[in-house]
Structure 1
Amino acid sequence: MKMKWLALVTAAALSLTACGDKNKQASDAPEKAAAGKTADASKQADKPAEEAKSVASSGNFLADAAALQAAEDALKALPQFGGKPLNIFQNIHFYGGERPRITVEIQDPSKPDNIDHYEFEDGKWSEPQAVRISGDGNMKDNVFPLDEIKFADIAKIAQAYGEKAKEVEAKEAELDHVYYALFVPTGKRQWYTSNLETDRAEYEFEFNKDGTLKSFKKR
């Protein structure tokens, strides 16, 4: 049965992909969802967010397991969720570099047809922004449990990335973007990072769900 989604005010316009429809998602490595910049939250949501701020400001965010864990704890503690289990819509992105942050679309646990955009930056989560959903897929095929991953495991990915970059003398030595994504047509979910490039080759990674390195090979 086809489903139409009409939400007001958008931080992003996302597509509800039909399970098994490979024309909807052409690649096994999904592109990140388009999302507009959210407005700054007027205040921090709770104590975990304050704790996240203190640790996220020290060093490389993607290599800081404590800062990543604090961000996860702060997200789950937001009062609008009421401690309920959370689902992610299609993917979640983590950025390091000069502007460390997290961007994600979360299914409203009280209104499952609603998706909201959130950003974590400067130690706090933004206020939710409504997302307009289109497409004829089923919502249940486009979400996965937040508890399926641990933010702190990204530190393992960052470490492996840095070690391999040094090993092959890559141009980029530090991880600055990693995301976990659902490929709806197959239901496959995994971590994605950029490839490593040298003057003579390009290398790609595959990681296990817990952030440990599964494979590293030349393309």
Structure 2
Amino acid sequence: MRLQKMTGIIIALMMCMSCNQFRESIHDTLYGSDTDSSYKDLPSGEDETSTTTSSSTSTHLSTSSSTTHTTVVEQRNGTTIIYNSTKTSGDNDFLGNAGKLVAAERALRELPAFAGKSIHLYRSIHFYEDGRINVTIQHPQNPEYIDEYNYSKGKWEEPKPVQMSVRDNISESLVSLDDISFASATAVYRNYNRKAEDVAGAKPLTHIYGIFRGNSITWYPQSINGSREKYFISFTPNGSLKDYYRE
């Protein structure tokens, strides 16, 4: 009788160990093991809400109780560009959030019309504080056509045809999306507002736009208007400060 009890206990222990190993195997498959070099704990008090990696762009978005930190690392034409932005709770800005702009760019690239095709932006692109983006793009199948794309409430709407003239030189106002980044608008936003803080009466940006000429982008606005002073300001294609002086 005692031998039967001991045998039953041993069998139960073996089954328990097997269940634990099974649960650990499932955990490691889903989340990675603690010894896996690709598995890293986040800093205390922070949650990783989104991490995406591709051959050209890596985005890390983390949040704490009061702030959201976004770091975007991009490789564009052999140059590494890093965008950092920090949002405090209650700050619903769109222009200052590099993560949101990168998400909008990624959603544009993933539209079925552009599957396996290059995207060429035409003439201008506009970013608004309320979360809208307006851009004109060369038709992916007919290079003589231009369509208007509007981004609102987190998604791209159906494109609208743009009436063109025979006098329009489309090729002069085209820029490949591979050569610019939507996140550059965040750099423009941050650099502009840093300077505007020191100009009495100047207002923060609510609208940023880029003009395409000679296959390059020029960012606007290029002036900061205060109550008593006016300053000229310009930016590099990636949004860094280029020139700044009083007019």
Question: One fold, TM greater than 0.5?
Answer: yes
- When the two chains are superposed, the root-mean-square deviation of aligned CA atoms in Å is 2.0
Which of 133, 143, 146 is the matching residue for 1:102? 133
SS at match of 2:113: helix
Could you tell me which of 229, 237, 242 is aligned with 1:209? Answer: 237
The yes-or-no answer on 1:80 pairing with 2:147 is no
Gaps of 5+ in 1: 1-54
By how many angstroms is 1:195 displaced?
A: 2.1
Instruction: Indicate conservation of the 8 Å contact 1:195/1:204, yes or no.
Output: yes
Deviation at 1:107? 0.5
Q: Match of 1:64? A: 97
Among residues 199, 202, 206, which one is paired with 2:227 in the alignment?
Answer: 199
Closer/same/farther in 2, CA of residues 144 and 162 from structure 1, 3 Å limit: same
Task: Give secondary structure in 1 for the equivalent of 2:198.
Answer: helix
Give the deviation of 1:132 after TM superposition. Answer: 0.6
Number of matched pairs: 159
Flag the structure with more relative contact order, 1 or 2, with Cα contacts below 8 A and sequence separation at least 6: 1
| Cα deviation digits, residues 112-137 of structure 1 (max 9, x gap) | 11111110010000101111101424
Q: TM-score, normalised by structure 2?
A: 0.60
Q: Give 1:167 shift.
A: 1.4
- 1:190 is displaced (CA, Å) by 1.2
Unaligned runs of 5+ in 2: 1-67, 69-89
59-68 vs 83-92, which deviates more?
83-92
Give the structure-1-normalised TM-score.
Answer: 0.67
Distance 2:146 2:191 in 1: 33
Of the three residues 205, 210, 225, the one matched with 1:175 is 205
- Structure 1 residue 188 displacement after superposition: 5.7
* Counterpart for residue 92 of structure 1: 125
Q: Retained in 2: the 8 A contact 1:95–1:176?
A: yes
Contact 2:134 2:148 in 1 (8 A): yes
Change (3 A) 1:188 1:83: closer
